[in-house]
């Protein structure tokens, strides 16, 4: 009998993914969630103009998408006042992180990140045989000094920082992030994940310097622009690094529909402002719900709120399980002491009403 000829590295990896999606959970449960508040999607939806653009593009879906993402790269370059040579478009930040790992991480190469930070980079690094080195959060935020210190200690190829952070929603000011870039050891690349930057206060993102070869920044249309299902992310970096993506990327990975939707969404500043206001209101509502149940929330610069359940990870897991049993999809950090919390996406009012109804029950059954 012939078996798949897996490489020793792939054969050694667990058959797991960074996240279990809500659809998988719904199939396992045999019924849908009433409140989908766990994936940090934009429940307020994409701009009507983006929906119309995608509908129009569907008629031409028999064609491959533009392999160069020319129009979208040009629009993003104008938006950020850089050259198209500084922009790479790909299948969400997750896909781009995979490309970056393939480009830069050989077996045994060191990569530094925070224990409990967004896990998709870890997934890709392990997939290419890299060695992960993790430092703990400090005061519920990623620790810039510890990250840089460990990178210097292990000779890291990459050091990852998300700002604002997932899963806690916390953030550092631009000066702190710039200090990380300035202090990065020779030969180390700062991987700056800015997926939630559109929700953050002014002064969170450092100025974009398209000539700085020490940093690559990742942004997305999945959050503020409401296109998570379209899978559109982009990188901003010095031109030589961006050009290197062409050596390994899937050149026809972007669909015409996704390209059209992202282009229209980027142009619709009024809808982005509307979404930002809706998210701010939802964050306030989540804080009120938590306070009404004797719980504390962490300040958030994202489209989710982290709720401190006040005890340990086992208790928070019991709360989460209780919410899931009552048809509320939420998630939680996976590493102590962050796992004392649950994380709730800023969703529409009707879904937050369900969360408000079911949270007291989940707390009561958690003990």
Q: Per-domain residue ranges for the chain?
A: 20-45+270-366, 49-267
CA atoms within 13 Å, Cβ hemisphere of 147: 30
Bond prior to 174 in cis (omega within 30° of 0): no
pLDDT digits (tens, 9 = 90+) for 191-236: 999 999 999 999 999 999 999 999 999 999 999 999 999 999 999 9
In the chain, what's the furthest Cα-to-Cα distance? 62
Q: What is the pLDDT at residue 4?
A: 75
Angle between the N-to-C axes of helices 70-80 and 256-267, in degrees from 0 to 180, rounded to the nearest 10 = 20
CA-nearest of 191, 233, 234 to 101 is 191
Cα 324 from Cα 362, distance rounded (Å): 9
Q: What is the pLDDT at residue 18?
A: 78
Low-confidence ranges of the chain (pLDDT < 50): 1
Q: Does domain 20-45+270-366 have CATH number 3.60.150.10?
A: no
In the chain the beta strands, taken as DSSP E runs, fall at 35-36, 87-90, 110-114, 131-135, 158-162, 189-193, 215-220, 233-236, 296-297, 304-308, 328-329, 341-345
Q: What is the pLDDT at residue 128?
A: 96
Sorted by sequence, the CB contacts under 8 Å of residue 251 that are 6+ apart come out as 67
Residue pair 218/93 in contact (Cβ under 8 Å)? The answer is: yes
Residue pair 86/239 in contact (Cβ under 8 Å)? The answer is: yes
| Class of 49-267 in CATH | alpha beta
Tokens matching residue 34: 């009433």
Give the CA angle between residues 364, 365, 367 to the nearest 5°. Answer: 75
Cα 226 from Cα 357, distance rounded (Å): 26
Q: What is the pLDDT at residue 2?
A: 56
Q: What is the pLDDT at residue 16?
A: 78
Tokens matching residue 351: 């879904």
Q: What is the pLDDT at residue 3?
A: 64
Give the CA angle between residues 233, 236, 237 to the nearest 5°. Answer: 140
């Amino acid at each position: 009998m012939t078996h798949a000829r897996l490489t020793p590295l792939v054969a050694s990896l667990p058959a797991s993914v960074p996240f279990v999606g809500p659809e998988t959970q719904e199939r396992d449960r045999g019924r849908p969630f009433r409140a989908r508040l766990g994936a940090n999607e934009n429940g307020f939806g994409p701009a009507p103009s983006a929906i119309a653009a995608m509908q129009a593009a569907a008629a031409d879906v028999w064609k491959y998408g533009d392999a160069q993402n020319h129009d979208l790269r040009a629009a993003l370059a104008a938006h950020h006042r850089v050259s198209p040579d500084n922009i790479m478009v790909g299948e969400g930040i997750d896909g781009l992180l995979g490309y970056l790992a393939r480009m830069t991480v050989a077996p045994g190469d060191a990569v530094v990140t925070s224990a409990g930070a967004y896990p998709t980079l870890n997934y890709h690094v392990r997939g290419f045989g890299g060695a992960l080195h993790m430092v703990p959060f400090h005061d519920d935020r990623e620790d810039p000094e510890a990250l840089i210190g460990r990178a210097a200690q292990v000779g890291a190829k990459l050091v990852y920082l998300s700002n604002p952070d997932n899963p806690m929603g916390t953030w550092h000011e631009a000066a702190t992030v710039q200090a990380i870039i300035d202090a990065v050891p020779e030969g180390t690349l700062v991987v700056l994940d800015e997926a939630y930057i559109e929700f953050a206060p002014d002064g969170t993102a450092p100025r974009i310097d398209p000539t700085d070869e020490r940093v690559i920044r990742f942004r997305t249309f999945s959050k503020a622009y409401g296109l998570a299902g379209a899978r559109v992310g982009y990188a901003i970096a010095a031109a030589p690094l961006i050009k290197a993506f062409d050596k390994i990327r899937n050149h026809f990975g972007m669909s015409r529909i996704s390209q059209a939707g992202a282009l229209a969404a980027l142009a619709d500043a009024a809808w982005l402002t509307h979404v930002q206001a809706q998210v701010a209101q939802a964050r306030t509502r989540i804080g009120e719900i938590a306070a009404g149940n004797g719980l504390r929330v962490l300040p958030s610069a994202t489209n989710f709120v982290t709720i401190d359940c006040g005890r340990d990870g086992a208790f928070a897991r019991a709360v989460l399980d209780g919410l899931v049993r009552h048809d509320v999809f939420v998630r939680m950090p996976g590493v102590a002491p962050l796992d004392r919390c649950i994380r709730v996406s800023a969703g529409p009012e009707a879904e937050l009403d369900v969360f408000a109804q079911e949270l007291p029950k989940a707390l009561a059954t958690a003990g």
